Structure 1
Amino acid sequence: MLSNKEQACFSSCSIPAIVVLYEPTKENILNLKQYANNLDCLLILDNSSSTNITLIKEVLPSVTNINQNTTEPIRKTKYHYLFFGKNLGLCKALNIGVNILKSKYEWILFMDDDSTFATNIVGCYQNFIKNHDTKDIAILAPVHLFDRSKDKISSGIEDISWAMTSGCLYNVKLFSKLGGFDEQLFLDCLDLDFGYKAKRSGFRVIKCKDAGVNHNPAQTNIFNLLGISIKYGVASPERYKLQCQNLFYLVLKYNSLSILKIFMWKWIKAIFFFDRKIEYLKNMSIGTLKGIQRFMRDKQYVFYKGAEK
């Protein structure tokens, strides 16, 4: 039986989750059911072109529709669905979700619609919060399990620079203090940006090695080089344009060699491994240029704001 102190702790760290849908498959919706019972609340946000409420009700019959400006007590029911009617982007959708939940919760879990729990990450995070001072911790991150990763579930914790969003538990107070996700990034690199922003502001990103999430970051292809199989991720040329735009913007924003290495790996894959090389390289060049342009606009804005003072 929990002591009064433990009961108070678990009450204060009741964990809700936000998942953002975009043209989901039935399998994506079934993923929600795999972990829904572990949560205090599940907020489903839909960026699709048409509503998926019927499909969701087949899996979670008690789900209720809410609107973006809801003032209803979110804990009255457990599962909530908000359809935007258009694709707002992952960054903006998550910011809206946090705004809906932030008055009721101190921590919020983010899940991708293609991710599932490999361990009871809610329990792992609650145990960590119960036993540690978390005032300077911005993110608790899991071990992400996928076919290109060598990471494994173990024990203990590790300070890291950033973590992929899915399966991460965000400190609501610090999320708001740091301005949430940069909505101009739209979809890619929001996690990289927020992690660096948190670290540069003196906060921590902690990997809980006993928390595991099954994750699917991009399609995996295999390139054979002298009998050695090299696994690598691949997405569409359009997606690579956005990734290069955001990555190079962040390279300049944080003056980061580590982010530059991620950016360069994209180019190495496109040049040596990909088919349709010209299409990829054209899109990636356009994206890189847009990243430079955004950085210059931001610098100009800061300069003018400074001059106004």
Structure 2
Amino acid sequence: MKIAGIVILYHPEATVIQYVQTYLSIVDVLYISDNTPEINPQLANALQQIPKVQYLHDGNNMGIAYRLNQAAKLAIAAGYEWLLTMDQDSYFEPNVAEQYMHCVAGNIQKNSTAMFGITMLEKPKQSIDCMPRQVTELITSGSLVNLPICIANGGFDEQLFIDLVDHEYCYRCKSKGYGIIQFDNIFLCHSIGVAIAARSVATGQRSTRSLHSPVRLYYMLRNYWYVHKKYPTGFDKELSQQKKSIQVRIKNYFLYGKQKAQLASYLLKAYIDYRKGRMGKINK
């Protein structure tokens, strides 16, 4: 298998250098696409010194979908068949990435599978079995994209900019008869949002919650309406779960976030922009 990789950066921590090393062995080239407008010379230089890395920076935040499509086109032009997509805060534990590729290479359905992926919600017990399972959606991070299928189906939807880019792509591929396979034995270490310790209003118990910024919640809500309209049937269960997840995140921010008025403004803007068809990058 000829595999390229892409990791998209946005104001990354220096830990990305260590994280990249956990999957570098399974790719022939790694595109590091930096969406941060201002370049960090020290970090950029360190990344460029890593074997196999091609560092891309044009001073613009073009979002997730555009960078994925950019990497897909570069990889196809260079003769690659698969694209490993990673987040800057994701990494594999030792030997897991190699086991992942072993499972993909041995899967008899790989040529008709649009995307392979991993589990991240609960670390599974160690298993030598690959445990493949047909699913409806995967997250971008840790996924392996079949490039011929990706290009043939128009790539990732750049109208979304960020959030639900991965799920919309999966829905589109599933609706056209392609497989989406998750390996339940492969675990990805991945962080979501900003974790804070807060006391529950209902029970008084302290627990950790993940908070997203008001602008990120804008994208989640606007894009949910867009995807729901794009797929009025066929993915009711998945979109219902998406709706509940977004509602919980909005509620958590109103309860524990600091910029409640700004969030309310962004949520109103999300509705207005969706209704007026203003997609892509937010116009603040």
TM-score, length-normalised on structure 2?
Answer: 0.83
Instruction: Look up the match of 2:218.
Output: 241
Helix, strand or coil for the counterpart of 2:269?
helix
Instruction: Look up the match of 1:284.
Output: 267
Compute the displacement of 1:202 (Å).
0.9
RMSD in angstroms over aligned alpha carbons? Answer: 2.5
Q: Give the alignment partner of residue 241 of structure 2, picking from 244, 254, 261.
A: 261
8 Å Cα contact 2:48-2:54 kept in structure 1: no
Q: 1:86 to 1:98 in 2, by over 3 A?
A: same
Helix, strand or coil for the counterpart of 2:182?
strand
CA distance in 1, matches of 2:81, 2:133: 22
1:96 corresponds to 2:65: no
1:79 corresponds to 2:53: yes
CA distance in 1, matches of 2:263, 2:38: 30
Compute the displacement of 1:121 (Å).
2.4
CA distance in 2, matches of 1:229, 1:252: 38
CA distance in 2, matches of 1:172, 1:161: 19
Instruction: Look up the match of 1:211.
Output: 186
Instruction: Look up the match of 1:73.
Output: none
Instruction: Look up the match of 1:22.
Output: 10
8 Å Cα contact 2:7-2:87 kept in structure 1: yes
Higher Cα radius of gyration: 1
Compute the displacement of 1:237 (Å).
0.8
CA distance in 2, matches of 1:274, 1:266: 15
Q: 1:207 to 1:30 in 2, by over 3 A?
A: same
Instruction: Look up the match of 2:277.
Output: 294
Instruction: Look up the match of 1:10.
Output: none
CA distance in 2, matches of 1:33, 1:121: 11
User: 2:163 is aligned with what amino acid?
Assistant: D
Instruction: Look up the match of 2:118.
Output: 142
8 Å Cα contact 1:15-1:122 kept in structure 2: no
Instruction: Look up the match of 1:171.
Output: 146
CA distance in 1, matches of 2:23, 2:244: 36
User: 1:249 is aligned with what amino acid?
Assistant: Y
CA distance in 2, matches of 1:14, 1:126: 13
CA distance in 1, matches of 2:231, 2:191: 27
220-229 or 180-189, larger mean C-alpha shift: 220-229
CA distance in 2, matches of 1:31, 1:170: 20
List runs of 5+ in structure 1 lacking aligned partners: 1-12, 64-77, 298-309
Helix, strand or coil for the counterpart of 2:114?
strand
Compute the displacement of 1:59 (Å).
5.3
Helix, strand or coil for the counterpart of 2:22?
helix
Instruction: Look up the match of 1:152.
Output: 124
CA distance in 2, matches of 1:132, 1:43: 28
TM-score, length-normalised on structure 1?
Answer: 0.77
The size of the alignment, in residue pairs, is: 266
List runs of 5+ in structure 2 lacking aligned partners: 280-284
CA distance in 2, matches of 1:202, 1:271: 36
CA distance in 2, matches of 1:15, 1:211: 18
Instruction: Look up the match of 2:169.
Output: 194
User: 2:216 is aligned with what amino acid?
Assistant: R
Helix, strand or coil for the counterpart of 1:97?
helix
Helix, strand or coil for the counterpart of 2:55?
strand
8 Å Cα contact 1:251-1:260 kept in structure 2: no
Instruction: Look up the match of 1:37.
Output: 25
